[in-house]
Structure formats: structure tokens, C-alpha cells
A = this chain, B = another copy of it.
Amino acid sequence: MTTSREVQLAARPQGEPQHSDFNVVNIELAAPGQGQIQVRNLFLTVDPYMRGRMNDVKSYVPPFALGETMTGGAVGVVTHSEDARVPVGAHVLHDQGWRTHANIDAGRVKVLPELDGVPLSAYLGVLGMPGLTAYAGLLRTAEFKPGDVVFVSGAAGAVGSAVGQIARLKGASRVIGSAGSAEKVAHLTGNLGFDAAFNYKDGPVGEQLRAAAPDGIDVYFDNVGGEHLEAAISAMHSMGRIAICGMISQYNSTEPTPGPRNMVQIIGKQLTVRGFLVTPHYDLFDTFAQEVGGWIASGQMKFDETVVEGIDRTPEAFMGLLKGQNTGKMIVKL
């Protein structure tokens, strides 16, 4: 028997989550069954989307169950294997996070390549779900083409910072980002290679975007919604494309928020506005991991992590994420 220490959802948070919304407990794990492996987790991820799943509302993913261990992305090492496809010692990416150990069907894990210069934690961020979200959303949903002018909101986040850098490395003619502090704006242009960036708190987004992209934009990658989306529609070239990944400006609204006032421009400009989830795009994973992994290994693409240590501090890491206490990807190291 193996003891797994696990974080369970004890109560549905009202507003900001509290320590009392979680229980941290020891669970005795049997040996893995036929076709299963046992994994010792090395890194866990906490992500903003998890907050939505803590509410008891129907959405595109079901809510987390009370009294059960939280799930989420994790990277671990295989300690037992009852499936020839996944050997002991392999590093795997899986979705049984918020625990130290797990038995998992071998078919549900992704064996990770061992790449020089690529830390394993990167598979939870720039080389994991957030990175694939950026890659698929930009290249497939927004149908990015070399020469495009690209605007991304929430550009200092795990997804946004990948979007801007992938666009640059794929031949964008200009990459513009918005973020919520002067430090983040300086980081985008100073370290991540954005051509222009602005702090959306400094003034109307429309005016700041026009100044940053005086000749207009071809692609908008939306993480924010609201005023950002309206500004992007107005700045769009004919045949422009908008990939909507998130609308974080609206997640805490208690009333329905009106949409952009310039929707009619979608007709004359022949725009495509497309919402997407990462789930249907995992067929791109190998191509994505090879290409972005190469850029990470060579230093052409950068990423930031904020690391919290210890399974018992996972709720704390999650609460800090929601308060913006992280720079780049928030990671729990076990």
C-alpha cells in the first residue's frame, strides 16, 4: 500500500475561496490494476478555470464533486506499471492533480519526451495545456498567417505570453499585448519580444490599441472580453479573425454584461469570431510540443513560473493565483 496525501473540495466557495473550503487527507492506495500505472507526482498546476468548476453550475465541464479529491494537470514519475506502453521511471503528464500519488489507466497519460533545457514543470504551462491553448487558438482557431498583425489581451499570463511569442516566432509583422500593470507591460516589450504593449488601466482600450496598432490588426486573441473585444473589432482589418479563449473581465459579473456596441462591423469587415476550448485540439500536441519545446530549449521563447512547495500548500497556491500573486504560471512543487 502507498499513502497518497490529497486535497479535497470540502465546501463550495462563496466568492474568494478560503482554507476551510478544502480538506487535506491521507488516502491508502492499492497496487495499480491491469492496464494501470502508479505515479508519484512531482508538479501540480492550479489554473483560473478551476474556480468555475468549484461552483455547482452546469458548464462545458462538470463541477468538482464535494468530498472528492480535486483533479487537474500534474506531472509525475511512474513508480509501478501494469502496462507495457508506460515503463517505470517514465515522466508522464496526466489529469489527476492535487494529490501526491495516483493510480491511472495507462491510456490516459501522456509520456513526456526528455528534452535538454526543458524543465518538467514546463509541461504544466508553456508546454502543457496553457501552451497548447495558445498554439491551437492562434494557429488553428484564429488561422494565423505570417505577416499578420496580432493583438493579445491578458498578454502577461500563461496563455497570453505564449500567444505573443508564438506569433512573433511564426512571422507576425507586429505583436501587441495588453496587461494590467506597468511591470507586466515592461516585461512584454523588454523580455518577451512584443513590439508594443499597454496597461489597460491607463486609459480607454480603443485609444491605446489605435496608438499601438495605427494600421489595424488581423488577429485578436481574446482572454479578457468586454471593452477589449469592442476595441479589437474596431481595429480589425477586413477578413480579420478573433479567437475567444476567455473573458476574464466578465467572470465575476453578477449581471449579464452587454456585448460590443460595434457588432455590425462584423458584417462589412467579414470578420470571423470563434470561441474555442483546448480539448478538441489535443491532436496537435506532438507537433506543438516539438516546436515550442525547441524554442524553449534554444531560449527563443521564455516563460515565467511562480513555484509553491508542498501538497499542503496547494490551496494557498490556488488562492494566491486568484489574487494575482503569481508572475507567469503558478506551479506547486511536491
User: A264 near B277 (CB under 8 angstroms)?
Assistant: no
Give a binary string over A254-266; 1 marks a CB under 8 Å from any B CB, 0 the rest: 0011111111111
Is the CB of A268 closer than 8 A to any CB of chain B?
A: yes
Which residue of chain B has its CB nearest to the CB of A52?
A: B268
Which residue of chain B has its CB nearest to the CB of A60?
A: B268
- If over half of A's interface residues share one DSSP class (helix, strand or loop), that class is named, otherwise mixed; here it is loop
Indicate which residue in B229, B259, B280 contacts A261 across the interface (CB closer than 8 Å).
B259
Q: Considering the chains assembled together, what is the distance between the CA atoms of A265 and B267 in angstroms? A: 20
User: A256 near B262 (CB under 8 angstroms)?
Assistant: yes
Contacts of A271 in B (CB 8 A): 274-275
Q: Considering the chains assembled together, what is the distance between the CA atoms of A257 and B276 in angstroms? A: 26
A-B complex: 5 closest residue pairs judged by Cβ atoms: A259-B259, A258-B258, A266-B275, A256-B261, A267-B275
Can you give 6 contacting A-B residue pairs, CB < 8 Å?
Answer: A247-B263, A250-B264, A256-B261, A266-B273, A266-B274, A270-B277
Residues of A within 8 A of B (CB): 59-60, 225, 229, 238, 244-247, 250, 256-277, 280
List 8 extra interface pairs beyond A244-B263, A259-B260, CB under 8 A: A60-B238, A60-B268, A244-B267, A247-B267, A259-B259, A267-B275, A272-B275, A273-B273
